[in-house]
Amino acid sequence: MAAKNRVVVGLQWGDEGKGKIVDLLARQASIVARFQGGNNAGHTLVVDGKTLVLHLVPSGILHANITCAIGNGVVVDPEVLLKELDALADRGHTIHPKQLLVAEGAHVILPFHRQLDGAREASLGDQKIGTTGRGIGPTYEDKIARRGLRMSIFVDDERRRNHIAALLPEKNRQIENWYGQAPLTIDEIEAWAKPLAARLAPYVTDTPAVLHQATQAGQSILFEGAQGTFLDVDHGTYPYVTSSNTIAGAACAGTGVGPTQIHQVIGVTKAYTTRVGAGPFPSAMTEEEEAKLRKIGGEFGATTGRPRRCGWFDAALVRRAVLLNGATDLALTKLDILSGYPALQICTHYADGCAPTSAEALAKALPVYETVPGWTEDISGVRTWADLPINCQRYVQRIEALVGAPATLLSVGPGRDEVIHRSVL
C-alpha cells in the first residue's frame, strides 16, 4: 500500500476518543506526531485491560517500532512530559530518545504560566473559560508575542536562565500587583528547570527534518490532534475555546509538513455530544438524561476529572466540523453506550438557519430534533457491520447522511479491538 499521511482530529468539543483511534491506526504508520495543544489533552488508552492516560506523549507510544514526535505547535510542560515517561517506564515501556522526538521549536510551559492561568480564571468569576489550569493560554500568548521560551533554548542552561530572567519582572508584576500572589524568583524556577532540561535534552531535535526524511522515504505519518474542532481558537465557540488551532489544517503548521503531504483526514465524533468547561451547548439533555448518560458513558474529564456536560448527537455541529477539517472519514465512538435507549434524538439543524459560527450564535441556536428508534442489544461484542442491530445501522447511516462523511470506523467499547471496520482504513 502506498504511504498515506493521515490526520486524526476531534469533530466536537474534545474527548471524542481520539487516543484510541490513533492507537489503532498507528499500526499502519512509522511516525505519530502531535501538532498542537499541550497537557490540557488527556487521551485514555485501554490496553490489555489496563488504562493509561497520556497528556503529552503521542498515543502511538505503546508501539515499540513507531517514532513519536511532539511538534513545534505543541506547548510542553517538561515536568509533565518526564512524569509521563516515568509512568511508561514503570509499566515496562522505557522510552528511548530515538522513539520520542521533541521539536526544538515547541514552546515551554513555565511555572508562572500555570500560576497566571489559575489566577486569571479565579479573577474572572462566572465569566471564566473553565480552562484546565495547565498554563496553556499564557504560554501560547508568549509564543505569539514573540517572547516565548522554545525547547532549543530550554535545554541550554545559560540561554534558558537569561531568557527566563528577562521575562520574570513582567510576570511578577502581574502575579503580585494584579493577582496579589507571591512573586517567583529566578533561582526557584532554575532549581525546577535545570534537572528537567538535562533529562529532556537528548529528546530535543529538528523534528521537521525527521518528518521530511520519513515522507521522502515513503513512510506514513499519523498526525494526532488534541481537543476538538469547536475548541479551535479561530473556528470554535470563541472565547470558550483553547488557545491553539485544533483543526486538521493545523497539522501542517504544527509540524512543518506541507499540505500536499496530507492524504486523509479522519474526524472522530462520539455518537452523542459532550463538553467540559464553559460555553454554549445547544443539544444539551435534561438533567435527568444527562446524569444517566454520564454514568453509563463514564463522562468525566481525563485531565481534570470534571463531569462532562452531555447532549444528543448534534449533526449541525458535526456537519460544519466535517467541512472545517476536510474530513474524508468519520470514526464514530461510544456507539455501545447508546444501547438500551428506546428512542434517540438527533439534532438535525438549528431553527432559522442558524450556523455554529461563534459562541453568540450557538447561545441563540434552537436545536431541531428528529427522534429515531433505539436498540436494546449489547453491541460491545459485535465486530462486523452486518451483525449490528438494524436500528443501530440506521442510526449510523442517518448520521452519515446528515454530516456528509462515511463512518468507516465504529468504536463499540474502550478496548483496542472493540471496533468495527467498514472499509480498509
* Smallest separation (angstroms) from ligand IMP to the CB of 234: 14
Note whether 315 binds ligand IMP by CB under 6 A.
no
**321 touching ligand IMP, by CB under 6 A:** no
Give the shortest CB-300-to-ligand IMP separation in angstroms: 11
Q: Determine contact, residues 116/135, Cβ cutoff 8 Å.
A: yes
Rule CB under 6 A: is residue 231 a binding residue for ligand IMP?
yes
| Binding status of residue 243 toward ligand IMP by CB under 6 A | yes
Surface-to-core class of residue 383, CB atoms within 10 Å of its CB (0-12 exposed, 13-18 middle, 19+ buried): middle
Applying CB under 6 A, among 11, 129, 221, 399 the residue interacting with ligand IMP is 129
Decide if residue 171 touches ligand IMP (CB under 6 A): no
Catalytic residue chosen out of the listed positions 15, 117, 314, 336: 15
Among 5, 36, 39, 40, binds ligand IMP (CB under 6 A): 40
User: Cα(first)–Cα(last) distance of the chain, in Å?
Assistant: 11
Nearest one of 250, 274, 240 to 361, comparing CA atoms? 240
Taking the C-alpha atoms of residue 341 and residue 384, their distance in angstroms, rounded to an integer, is 21
**Segment contacting ligand IMP (CB under 6 A): 46-54, 129-137, 176-184, 384-392?**
129-137
Q: Applying CB under 6 A, does 45 fall inside the site for ligand IMP?
A: no
Task: Please pick, from the candidates 8, 15, 70, 110, the single residue that binds ligand IMP as defined by CB under 6 A.
Answer: 15
CB 302 within 8 A of CB 44: yes
Counting contacts by CB under 6 A, is residue 134 touching ligand IMP?
yes
> Can you list the positions of beta strands (E) in 235-361?
264-270, 273-275, 309-311, 313-314, 329-333, 343-350
User: Which residue stretch of 133-141, 188-196, 372-380, 390-398 sits at the interface with ligand IMP (rule: CB under 6 A)?
Assistant: 133-141
Strand-pairing partners, residue 8, are 224, 266
Sign of CA dihedral 346, 324, 36, 409: positive
196 lies in the binding site for ligand IMP (CB under 6 A):
no
Q: Are the C-beta atoms of 220 and 5 separated by less than 8 Å?
A: yes
Check residue 207 for interaction with ligand IMP (CB under 6 A). no
- 309-311 and 273-275: which strand pairing? antiparallel
Q: Is 412 in the site for ligand IMP (CB under 6 A)?
A: no
Residue labelled with grid coordinates 499564557: 138
Q: Which residue of the set 23, 43, 113, 349 is catalytic?
A: 43
Query: Least distance to ligand IMP from the beta carbon of 14, Å?
Result: 3
The answer to whether 63 is a known catalytic residue is: no
139 or 345: CB nearest ligand IMP: 139
279 φ/ψ angles, rounded to the nearest 5 degrees:
120, 160
Which span sits near ligand IMP by CB under 6 A: 36-44, 70-78, 344-352, 389-397? 36-44
Binding segment for ligand IMP (CB under 6 A), chosen from 1-9, 37-45, 189-197, 382-390, is 37-45
The closest alpha carbon to 241, from 232, 254, 251, belongs to 232
Interaction between residue 224 and ligand IMP (CB under 6 A): no
Q: From its phi and psi, is residue 335 left (phi > 0), alpha (psi between -120 and 50) or beta? A: alpha
Indicate whether 334 belongs to the interface with ligand IMP (CB under 6 A): no
206 is a catalytic site residue: no
SS3 309: strand
CB-nearer residue toward ligand IMP: 112 or 375 = 112
Q: Over the range 54-89, which residues count as b (16 or more CB within 10 Å of their CB) and which as e? A: bbbbbbbbbbeebbbbbbbbbbbbbbbbbebbeebe
What is the nearest approach in angstroms of ligand IMP to the Cβ of residue 229?
Answer: 11
Single out the residue of 39, 227, 264, 411 in contact with ligand IMP (rule: CB under 6 A): 227
226 binds ligand IMP, rule: CB under 6 A? yes
Q: Known catalytic residues?
A: 15, 43
Which residues are near ligand IMP by CB under 6 A? 13-15, 40-42, 129-132, 134, 136-137, 226-227, 231, 240, 242-243, 276-277
